[in-house]
Amino acid sequence: MGRFRWFLLGGAASAAAYWLMRYLRPEHSPLVLNQAVVIITGASAGIGRAYALAFARRGARLVLAARRAEALEEVRAEVATYAAEVLCVPTDVNDDAQLEALVQAALDHYGRVDILINNAGLVDYGTLQNHHPRRTRQMVSTNLASAINLTRLCLIPMLAQRSGAIINVSSMAGKIPTAHQPVYAATKVGLIAFSDALRRQLEGTGVRVVSVLPSYTDTEMVAPAMQDYVREMGLTVDTPHYVAERTIDGLLKGEQEILFGGAVMLFGAWLERHFPLLATLAQRYVFTPNLMAMMEQIKAEYVAKAKEKR
Ligand SMILES: NC(=O)c1ccc[n+]([C@@H]2O[C@H](COP(=O)([O-])OP(=O)(O)OC[C@H]3O[C@@H](n4cnc5c(N)ncnc54)[C@H](OP(=O)(O)O)[C@@H]3O)[C@@H](O)[C@H]2O)c1
């Protein structure tokens, strides 16, 4: 009799666990990308450029935003074979009036906004003592405040349509705040928290919020010397194309958080969450004074290049 009771209890517990798993499983998205209107910030280079190509190949109608108008025109030419329509709107995301003009341009041209990709971003490396206060403000504004303000503007048409998707491009630095980029990590943790809170706020409205957390990716943001070092450590450096394609795959599967960087990064994120002390010890081992000195050098080159581009 005792055994029979255990058998019944075990069966009931398994059924409950199975039901819970099915209940919590992400739902496939009803989004149709063909003809969807997609606003991409930071579309002039790197991952944003790859998003433009990936969405264009699925028949989306694009709105490309970044500061460099000529670079946006290059992207327009690159995606022209696939994209039905492309609107280039030179925009500095740190200017609220320009953000309003961007959303208005999309609405005037297409009459709707289906997907917003908050991708524009800046990085800074090295010790906090060597961070310039102006650049710190610019980074917090570009990576976080601008994404929040642009999301707010896009929510108005999306809520009226009762459909839409906000894709916030954060970083694995938002899960594993590393010693060599304290301010950058702060902005990326903030963007994940914003996405999580907003997702809860928007439940039942038809508007979805997705966090994308790229790991090291082969763009101008990661200097060649840094990429070499990352590979030497046995980590992967993804291509922007892979990040864009995996994002679309995750978006359509209904994933809320799309993580990159392979097993090592996933393990790092798990360690950080459950055993922060061990994560701190691991970083002590990785971020040696030599590495921090290399970061200062890389930072100087990155900042000089950014000034050259402007
Ligand atoms: N590469 C990586 O390893 C990596 C890893 C994790 C997360 N991410 C994130 O992925 C996103 C894209 O990075 P990426 O690697 O593609 O970098 P990237 O090649 O340096 O491109 C950055 C983009 O942001 C735009 N941007 C910067 N400031 C802007 C502003 N004030 N207004 C409008 N656009 C601005 C740039 O365009 P303009 O200069 O023309 O304005 C450019 O298109 C960022 O959010 C980054 O934090 C990257």
> How confident is the model over 125-176, as pLDDT tens digits?
888 988 999 999 999 999 999 999 999 999 999 999 999 999 999 999 999 9
> Which residue has the least CA distance to atom 44 on ligand 1?
121
pLDDT band at 230 (very low <50, low <70, confident <90, very high): confident
Alpha-carbon distance of 46 to 53, in angstroms, equals: 11
Domain that holds residue 203: 29-309
Buried b (16+ CB within 10 A) or exposed e, 121-138: bbbbbbeeeebeeeebee
Q: For ligand 1, is residue 91 a contact (CB within 6 Å)?
A: yes
Whether the CB of 212 sits within 6 Å of ligand 1: no
Any domain includes 242:
yes
- CB of 92 closer than 6 A to ligand 1? yes
pLDDT digits (tens, 9 = 90+) for 1-18: 688 899 999 999 999 998
Q: Which of 51, 67, 137, 168 is the best mutation target for the ligand 1 pocket, counting ligand atoms within 8 Å of the beta carbon and taking the most?
A: 67
Give the catalytic positions in this structure: 184
The verdict on residue 23 lying in a domain is no
Sign of CA dihedral 242, 170, 66, 162: positive
CB of 250 closer than 6 angstroms to any ligand 1 atom: no
Mean pLDDT across the chain, nearest whole number? 92
pLDDT at residue 240 in the model: 98
Residue 166 lies in a domain: yes
Within a domain: 87: yes
Q: What is the pLDDT of residue 310?
A: 63
- Give residue-wise pLDDT tens across range 266-282: 999 999 999 999 999 99
pTM listed for this prediction:
0.91
Q: Please report whether residue 10 resides in a domain.
A: no
Q: Rounded to the nearest whole angstrom, what is the distance from the C-alpha of residue 165 to the centroid of ligand 1? A: 20
Count of domains forming the chain? 1
* pLDDT, tens only, 190-229: 999 999 999 999 999 999 999 999 999 999 998 888 888 8
Q: Domain for residue 18, yes or no?
A: no
| Residue recorded with tokens 């980029």 | 181
CB 42 less than 6 A from any atom of ligand 1: yes
Residues 6+ apart with CB under 8 A from 60: 33, 34, 35, 36, 37, 38, 83, 115
